[in-house]
Amino acid sequence: MSLFSWEGFVALMLGGLYGSLFGAIPGLTATLAVALFIPIAFFLDPIIALPAIIAISSVAIYAGDVGSSIARIPGTPASAAYAEELYSLSRKKGPVYSLGISAMGSAIGGIIGTLLLIFTATGIAKLAKQFSSFEYFWIAVLGLTAGIFATGRAPIKGFISLLLGILFSTVGVDPTLGYPRFHFENPNLLSGLNYIVAMIGLFGFSEVLEHVYRPVKNENHTIDDQHPTSNAYSFFVAPLLLLFKEKLSVLRSSFLGVVIGFLPGAGADVGSWVATSVQKVGNQNQEDQEDKVIVAGTSSNNAAVASAWIPALSLGLPGDTVTAIVLGVFLMKGITPGPLLFEQSMDLVWSLFITFLIANLVLLPLYGYLTARIASQIIKVPSRILLSIIAGLCVVGAYAINNNPFDIWVMVAMGVCAFALRRGGFPLAQVVLGMVLGPILEQNFMVSAIKSKWSLMSFFERPIALVLMLLTIVIIIVGVRFIQSGKAHKNTTRTS
């Protein structure tokens, strides 16, 4: 069975359509989309099932931006890194343009990630084998540090939001020692707070509470008619011109996505946060940088999606939850991932490479434009009706994660918490970042400390760990410098 047969083509197109519609609903992630597809994949030939999975995951990652564009509700933790910028740009220039940047950025980043996957899979996998708990600890520290300074002029508030997110991540069973904590005798909390459920409450339900508290009269979500918000030029040409102008940012973000994406447990989420944080730190003195932040985040997203397959194909180690499911499909079909895969099943490997390229060259622009046109119509719905729909989607999305009504109450509590944080001017995205990186930070610190018999110097002895530590210091120095220069510029403006 060939990828270029009509069966393979139909599977590819239907997988992309399924991913675009599924990923656009808050709470329904790319991982869940792939997981629900697995019962069907059992009965399909690998040459059809695997391309369909690639199409689903690639398009669903992009589709997570649709909720951010319409109602400031990110569909994935990776989308939360630039949700505010995407929502703001949608209100200024329309969702077709903002989602065009997202789709084109995802496509270019995915193509770069695929090319690196083709030429460097074996070499990068060998580098991944050098990573231990010490390196993963410093990766988490690097991401958290970048997240603090990504808040701009209020790093203290960003730090507090980050600590709050890390605190939420400690609910449940200790991942290292197995000790239950902060569960308040409630068995539902033993498994911890799901960060997808929390994210729906933080961004989605809090938006509903915000409009109830401070309603906007005569709001119909229309965009200035001076902007060509609904034509193909706004979706394809204008974003591509922006990407060409910001080509260095695209290359840097794609590279960060590839490097971080192939690390097990990191994936697109951490890669997107690091890429957008680096972009924000480097452009704190510039106004209207929403489009540049979106470019950085989306380029990193799909580059990380492709690179997560590197350890899966080369070593049989999942790079993220999607590739963990894919490994199960491999084994179920009698395919053993590893170095021998490149010797014995190169036809399958090349089919996967070609599928990645097709998914990013064809499916993302095609289904991206479809969802953007739908979003441009939804955004014109009167606010009262739209908010009712958002509230309903928040409830459905929170329940759909684990089919547990308790998650609805967690979502509501997070929404109330986010509403209070907004009143104090605290950023919400950093709360999600703390919940994502908190477990990685804690588990790898404890494992490293235990196996080194609590010798803190062991955290600085390995070369790669030392490089990551130096990068963290560089981010701190650059972040402090930009904050100081911003204050100086502000004082000069007031004086003049």
pLDDT of residue 326: 75
- Residue 355, pLDDT > 70, answer yes
- Distance (Å, whole) CA 199 – CA 2: 40
Share of the chain above pLDDT 70, in %: 83
| pLDDT tens, position by position, 136-159 | 898 888 878 877 876 666 788 889
Reading the block at residue 346, the tokens are 């190169």
Residue of higher predicted confidence among 305 and 121: 305
**Contact of 407 with 401, CB cutoff 8 Å:** yes
CA dihedral 218, 219, 224, 228 (to 10 degrees): -130
b/e 413-450 (16+ beta carbons within 10 angstroms → b) = ebbebbbebbeeebbbbbbbbbbbbbbbbbbbbbbbbe
- Distance (Å, whole) CA 285 – CA 287: 7
- Give the range among 29-33, 314-318, 400-404, 450-454 with minimum mean pLDDT: 314-318
Q: Mean pLDDT across the stretch 240-246? A: 92
- Distance (Å, whole) CA 361 – CA 107: 6
| pLDDT tens, position by position, 193-220 | 887 788 788 877 887 888 787 765 444 4
**Residues forming a β-bridge with 172:** 181
The torsion angles phi and psi of 73, rounded to 5 degrees, stand at: -115, 100
Residue of higher predicted confidence among 478 and 296: 296
| pLDDT tens, position by position, 378-412 | 777 777 787 788 788 788 878 877 888 999 999 99
- Residue 112, pLDDT > 70, answer yes
- Distance (Å, whole) CA 167 – CA 163: 6
pLDDT of residue 143: 78
- Residue 420, pLDDT > 90, answer yes
Residue of higher predicted confidence among 128 and 492: 128
The confidence band for 228, taking pLDDT boundaries of 50, 70 and 90, is: very low
- Distance (Å, whole) CA 109 – CA 261: 12
- Distance (Å, whole) CA 289 – CA 89: 9
Domain coordinates of the chain in residue numbers? 6-495
Sign, Cα dihedral of 394, 400, 402, 406: positive
**Contact of 359 with 9, CB cutoff 8 Å:** no
Q: Mean pLDDT across the stretch 89-100? A: 88
The torsion angles phi and psi of 173, rounded to 5 degrees, stand at: -85, 135
CA distances to 203, 208, 234, 431 from 390, rounded to whole Å, are 11, 7, 26, 21
- Residue 278, pLDDT > 60, answer yes
- Residue 485, pLDDT > 60, answer yes
Angle at 138 between CA 134 and CA 141, to 5 degrees: 140
Q: Mean pLDDT across the stretch 87-108? A: 89
The residue among 475, 64, 128 whose CA lies nearest residue 277 is: 475
| pLDDT tens, position by position, 43-83 | 788 778 888 888 888 888 888 888 888 877 777 777 878 88
Tell me the DSSP string of 34-99: HHHHHHHHTTS-HHHHHHHHHHHHHHHHHHHHHHHHHHS--SSHHHHTTHHHHHHHHHHH-HHHHH
